[in-house]
Amino acid sequence: MFVKRNPIFQWLESVHNIWHMRRVQLFDMGLGQVGVAGVWKDDGPDTGRSRYPDFADTFIFDLRTTSKRDLQLALWHRLEARRRLLS
């Protein structure tokens, strides 16, 4: 599976307990910056709750200055803000 080959994809798999990024594309933006485009899909456990709609997202981060934890935390806050808007 391609997700297992690239650590950035692995980071995106474990960001949130509801949404996981699918159809991910990475772009080399130069100077250590990586552009990411993909679709966040509601892959959370189905325990009778309402499902959240999928949505496309793009963002850029700098591999030189952004740690894995910082990226995951920023994306988690972004997804939680989205979830609150939909609730």
Q: pLDDT tens digits, residue range 26-83? A: 888 888 888 999 999 987 666 777 788 999 999 998 988 988 888 889 999 999 999 9
**Cα–chain-centroid distance for residue 78?**
9
Dist CA 23 CA 84 (whole Å): 24
**In the structure, how many helices (H) and strands (E) does the chain have?**
2, 3
> pTM of the full predicted structure?
0.77
Nearest C-alpha neighbor of 58 from the set 23, 83, 30: 23
